[in-house]
Structure 1
Amino acid sequence: MKYSSRVLHLNLHLTAEPFDSPSRKMLKKVRKKDFSAQDFVDQLLREGAQVTCDETNESFVRSDRLPPFYDERLFRKGQEFFHKHAFSMYSACFYGLVTILSIPTILRILIFTKQSSSAITAYKRYVATIFHMTIWYDEDFKPGSKLWKSISQVRHVHNSASKRGSKAGVHRIFQKDMALTQFGFMGFQLSRSHLVGIHDASEEEWKSFLHVWRVVGYLLGINDRFNLCSGSVQETKEICELLISQAFKPEILKGDKDFLSMARHVCSGLWPVSPILNFKTSLCFLHALVQETNGFKKIPEPTFFKLSWGLKLSYYFQMYVFLYWMKNHYYRLYRNFIQKFTLWFFKVLPLLAFYKFGIAHSYVDIKV
């Protein structure tokens, strides 16, 4: 069953209405009764590929208005949930990042901007992304805050790239591209939680985590009818599963040379942040994620390379950590501490970046 015109009409005007408006309540009832994850994905991949993302919801930047659906309690709980599973969250974001590089429209924009076309440019771009993300999970969400300024800065970068891409004859950044990018920050955490080391999370915790990304997605310009996190936890999980099987998996298994080249640059660029990163083992683990296999019976090695015994051992160790060791409360606390300390120390003294890129290129300042 396709979305009715009435549902689409309500969605289009959702962000302009109070949280308890009659049309919002009606939309919730209609979605609960008639929701279809496949219809949502079809609409996103079809209509979302025709609606641009830049210069939408600009009232956020120009005024002190919060999103109409913003819930401070849920947002703070979502931040707490992230910190409870910080190591797994950052790990899942890395694989989410590599995943979205497989989407041709996203890849073309990145190639055009030349911000991920080498190890050093990928280092600067994605370290900046990590720093922005830590602000989103650490700071208060209110006008004038560091979080507010951070999102405004990211929006400006996206809008600028979109406009330059359009002028150069590439294309603008579309709602589909932004929604798929949103997946990169929350999709594997929800749909492959056991494979990235998030165990025994409650429905309320997932609800709060998705609320954070509904808010962030909205502020970055994603219309609510394309926002992956605008429904219930179960609805969002169904959407993520379909996106993996229909949008990401075919492109990843295809192994496009530009995608592989960009993924290699990302792994090389982020090596100073996480020295255990290896392109081959990372790609094998990504194949395990999109094919939903724990990888112990047979490593899902891409056909274009084979792992050495040393890399196989590294792969198995990573898989074992996520599937089993992260279930232990004290080990999870230990890995979270190491993850946070590593990022703090990296901001102060990025020694491995000094070695790889030189002191002049090692410090990344997002000026927030």
Structure 2
Amino acid sequence: MMDENSLYEHVRRRRLHVYENGPKFHGITPGLDASKPPEWYDPVAFKHAQKLFDKYQSILSLTSFMGLILGLMSDDEILRILLSTGNSETVDKLFTRYLSTIKHIEDWFRYDPFDTDSKSFKSLKMVRTMHCKVADKLNNNQTTNEQNAKQINQREMFLTQGAFFGLSALIPKQIGYHRFTQKDFHSIFHFWRVIGYCMGIEDEFNICNGSDEEVVEMCRQIYHEDSLLKIRQCAERYPMSRAVHNAFYGYIMTFSYSSMMHYLAPILNLDIRLYPLTTFTEWFEYQLFKLTMKKLYKYSWFIKLSNRHARNSTKNARKKRKKIVKKLQKQFPDQNFTLETYPFILDLNNNNKF
């Protein structure tokens, strides 16, 4: 085990290596045989993570959702890729897109990613194919001066990978991970290392490549020395994070955007004044969210109840998808996000300055 200073410097060098060299490489490893597990694959740890999802689905799913919300505030390049597909232009399209993402994640946590007949393998293959098509389209449209940086590159995959579980490594107790052991976190980190590999992330750029303490420190540095500075720059000038939340609020998400961010803001060193509670409903949901994160997730009875709600609400959202899409179109007719109109403001050259 490294001392604190050695750990910081080791992880910092690796992080800056990813930022500098990741953009040069395609996000999907060329010649990947996704049917064969890597030599470091630990089936016991992977299956333990799958059991954890069955036991703690609501917590793990909420963590990924909150990571998405924050991720959309902190990286222009990833935002540009999302907008370039045409599948994130409106609130109803965001609903359809991320409802599909939820299904992919469920399949990864429930089936064998190396069994070519499994839903997990087919899901991962579908996502890789989609990434390749979008990357080819974007790279073919680049100017000569832009050719040194690949679109959907290893750096972007590295950051996206971290969004799925990073908050659990950064602030576990504050977001409900009271019952998780060191073994549990190790299994979750290993799970996402495997999924990253199956997605086409090279080990050199896999955020979970390293000891558990290195993974936690990497998530800490990414947030505090990179993402946090960018989120503070953009504040509420990035509308897509709120739009993603609006797409699921009342269907899968129980808590409003303001109530959730009002709770997270002081924990994550954000300005709480940007997320005021303007109605009694928002205040009540904030109190309930705080109680849930700090107290209720300590109890197995509540976790079971929360998991049941998560499964049922997701199932109902899929069943009523067409009706929900039409309702969202009427509810948010003026929200439209395009590359030409989106308020990009971040300095893309900041990545190597930390």
Q: TM-score category by the smaller chain?
A: 0.7 to 0.9
1:162–1:288 distance in 2 versus 1, CA, 3 Å: farther
Tell me if 1:284 matches 2:262: yes
Matched letter for residue 184 of structure 2: E
Deviations, residues 331-365 of structure 1 (Å, cap 9, x unaligned): 1111112112222333334486166248xxxxxxx
Could you give the per-residue CA deviations for residues 133-173 of structure 1, whole angstroms, max 9, x where no partner exists?
00001112322211101000001111111111222338511
**Which whole-Å CA distance do the structure 1 matches of 2:235 and 2:85 have between them?**
19
Judging changes above 3 Å, is the alpha-carbon distance between structure 1 residues 288 and 217 closer, same or farther for their aligned structure 2 residues? farther
Identity of aligned residues (%): 23
Instruction: Say which of 87, 104, 107 aligns to 1:115.
Output: 87
- CA shift, 1:113, in A, is 1.8
Aligned to 2:40: 69
Q: Are 2:262 and 2:276, in contact at CA under 8 Å, matched by a contact in 1?
A: no
2:181 maps to 1:202: yes
Measured at CA, do residues 123 and 275 of structure 1 come closer, stay the same or move farther in structure 2, by a change above 3 Å?
same
Instruction: Considering Cα pairs closer than 8 Å and 6+ residues apart, tell me whether 1 or 2 has the greater RCO.
Output: 2
Aligned residue in 1 for 2:136? 163
Structure 2 CA distance for partners of 1:273 and 1:289, relative to 1, 3 Å: farther
- Give the count of matched residue pairs: 316
Are 2:277 and 1:307 aligned?
yes
Instruction: Give the 3 Å change call, closer, same or farther, for CA 275–189 of structure 1 in structure 2.
Output: closer
Q: Which runs of 5+ in 2 are unaligned?
A: 330-354
**2:318 maps to 1:342:** no
Counterpart position of 2:100: 128
Deviation at 1:286, TM superposition (A): 4.5
The 2-side partners of 1:78 and 1:284 are apart by 30
Q: TM-score, normalised by structure 1?
A: 0.78
- Alignment pair present for 1:86 and 2:65: no
- DSSP 3-state at the match of 1:225: helix
RMSD (Å), alpha carbons: 2.5
CA distance in 1, matches of 2:100, 2:266: 28
- Segments of structure 1 that go 5 or more residues without pairing to the other structure are 1-27, 293-299, 359-368
Partner of 2:165: 186
Q: TM-score normalized by structure 2?
A: 0.81
Local SS of the residue matching 1:117: coil
Query: How far has the Cα of 1:57 moved from its partner?
Result: 4.6
Cα distance, 1:140–1:52 mapped onto 2, change above 3 Å: closer
Corresponding letter in the other structure for 1:334: L
Aligned residues of 2:48 and 2:187 also touching (Cα < 8 A): yes
SS at structure 1 position matched to 2:112: coil
Give deviations 1:224-251, integer Å, cap 9, x for gaps. Answer: 1111111121110011011111221112
1:108 shift after superposition: 1.4
